[in-house]
């Protein structure tokens, strides 16, 4: 496990004469820097983003923009996490972790334990909450749940009344599948007291998507 911030591209770290300049903040090539879309937003709910390694170099990935926008937020990269280190991340500061994930009864046959019930009173106190977000494809996210039993012990928060996705880049497996940033934004609208506050995050996401589309051949 390592911090996403430490993921300096090898090209920069090892080459005496780098061919491309990288932005140290968003870790993208300078020409594709997305930092203009970062809108710092304070959150009562703290974020913990667990990013699958295959998402790190994915230009369409929105998790780093989410991480750079929402404060407080922690982002780590890995598939199987050290159990003690993961528990420390989940419980840091005495907050209660809540997994942003739908209830998936079918996963029990895959060896994934059913989640405990979510205490409704918990949802009324965002300052006590840590929203745990798995940034991976659907298939890889299930693998991460399977490989990290601590994630199976978390109560889950499932989005209700899914709004139409703004996401126009990556073809989703389901029509209403949201990007990581959008899912987090809609969850924060429900968990945090001020939904209007989070519109700025979706507006930033639209700018990000527009920038990505300029790199995609028509
Ligand atoms: Zn940047």
Instruction: Tell me the pLDDT tens digit for each residue of 159-217.
Output: 876 555 544 444 444 445 788 999 999 899 889 867 788 989 999 999 998 898 887 65
Ligand 1 centre and the CA of 37: distance in Å?
9
pLDDT digits (tens, 9 = 90+) for 80-134: 999 999 999 999 999 999 999 988 888 888 889 899 998 888 888 999 999 999 9
User: Residue 181 burial by CB count (10 A; 0-12/13-18/19+): exposed, middle or buried?
Assistant: buried
Whole-number Å distance, alpha carbon 40 to ligand 1 midpoint, is 14
Please give the distance, rounded to the nearest whole angstrom, from the Cα atom of residue 29 to the centre of ligand 1.
8
Give the pLDDT score at 12. Answer: 46
Please give the distance, rounded to the nearest whole angstrom, from the Cα atom of residue 47 to the centre of ligand 1.
Answer: 21
Eight-state DSSP code of residue 15: -
Ion ligand 1 nearby residues (CB, 5 A)? 23, 25-26, 33, 35
Peptide bond into 72 cis (omega under 30): yes
Torsional sign, CA 176, 191, 51, 17: positive
Q: What is the pLDDT of residue 165?
A: 53
| First-residue to last-residue Cα distance in the chain | 38
Confidence of residue 62 (pLDDT cuts 50, 70, 90): very high
For ligand 1, the distance from its centroid to the CA atom of residue 63, given in whole angstroms, is 14
For residue 50, list its beta bridge partners: 76, 134
Give the tokens for residue 216. 């995609």
Distance 31 CA to ligand 1 centre (A): 9
Task: Please determine, for residue 143, whether its predicted confidence score (pLDDT) is greater than 60.
Answer: yes
Q: Which two tokens stand for residue 206?
A: 């639209």
- Distance, CA 212 to ligand 1 centroid (Å)? 14
Closest CA to 192 of 32, 28, 46, 35: 46
Give residue 106 CA to ligand 1 midpoint distance, Å: 40
- Given a contact cutoff of 8 angstroms between Cβ atoms, the answer to whether 57 and 51 are in contact is no
Q: Give me ligand 1 centre to Cα 51, in Å.
A: 18
In angstroms, what is the span from residue 93 Cα to ligand 1's centroid? 29
């Amino acid at each position: 496990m390592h911090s996403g911030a430490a993921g300096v591209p090898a090209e920069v770290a090892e080459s005496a004469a780098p061919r491309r300049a990288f932005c140290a903040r968003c870790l993208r090539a300078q020409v594709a820097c997305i930092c203009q879309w970062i809108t710092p937003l304070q959150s009562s709910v703290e974020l913990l983003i667990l990013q699958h390694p295959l998402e790190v170099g994915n230009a369409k990935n929105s998790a780093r923009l989410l991480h750079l926008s929402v404060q407080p937020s922690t982002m780590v990269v890995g598939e199987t996490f050290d159990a003690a280190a993961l528990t420390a991340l989940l419980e840091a500061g005495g907050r209660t972790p809540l997994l942003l994930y739908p209830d998936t009864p079918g996963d029990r046959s895959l060896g994934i334990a059913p989640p405990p019930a979510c205490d409704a009173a918990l949802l009324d106190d965002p300052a006590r909450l840590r929203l745990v977000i798995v940034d991976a494809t659907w298939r890889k996210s299930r693998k991460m749940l399977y490989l990290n039993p601590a994630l199976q012990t978390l109560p889950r928060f499932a989005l209700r009344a899914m709004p139409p996705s703004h996401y126009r880049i990556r073809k989703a497996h389901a029509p209403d599948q949201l990007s990581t940033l959008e899912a987090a934004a809609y969850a924060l609208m429900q968990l945090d007291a001020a939904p209007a506050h989070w519109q700025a995050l979706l507006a930033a996401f639209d700018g990000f998507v527009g920038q990505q589309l300029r790199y995609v051949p028509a």
